[in-house]
Amino acid sequence: MALKELPDSEYIKQFTCGGLSICRGDFENLGCPLYTANIDDDTMQKIVNDIYKELSNNYRFTDEEIAEYGKYYDWETMEAIDEAFYREMEGIALQYGMKYYDELEEN
């Protein structure tokens, strides 16, 4: 069974909250890629909102620090943000029903 595909423009559409901006392509490009075509825009926005809340409330990162995720691997603070960001990004996306491509291929 072929997986549903979205137009390329949907994979680069940004969903933002505070200093955080994420697109479907960010989830699709994780080490273990997540399938996003079955997730509507409202749910994508909720995922980004929840990731932002986790990073700002639980990790106490500022909007400026959150906005820089993935850009400065040399800095100790940025490494901490990257680690927290990817952990939260993956965990929250799974809570909202995203699946790993590997899981979809097995079915």
**3-state SS assignment for residue 90:** helix
Residue 4 domain flag: no
Looking at residue 40, the DSSP 8-state letter turns out to be: -
Q: What is the pLDDT of residues 30-40, one digit of tens each?
A: 888 999 999 99
Residue 97 domain flag: yes
Question: Which residues have CB under 8 Å from 93's CB, separation 6+?
Answer: 27, 34, 47
Measure the CA–CA gap between 71 and 102, rounded to whole angstroms.
28
CA–centroid distance for 98 within its chain = 11
Which residue segment(s) compose the domain that 18 sits in?
14-106
Residue 6 domain flag: no
In terms of pTM, does the model score above 0.75? yes
Q: What is the pLDDT of residues 11-29, one digit of tens each?
A: 999 999 998 889 999 999 8
Contact call for residues 34 and 90 (beta carbons, < 8 A): yes
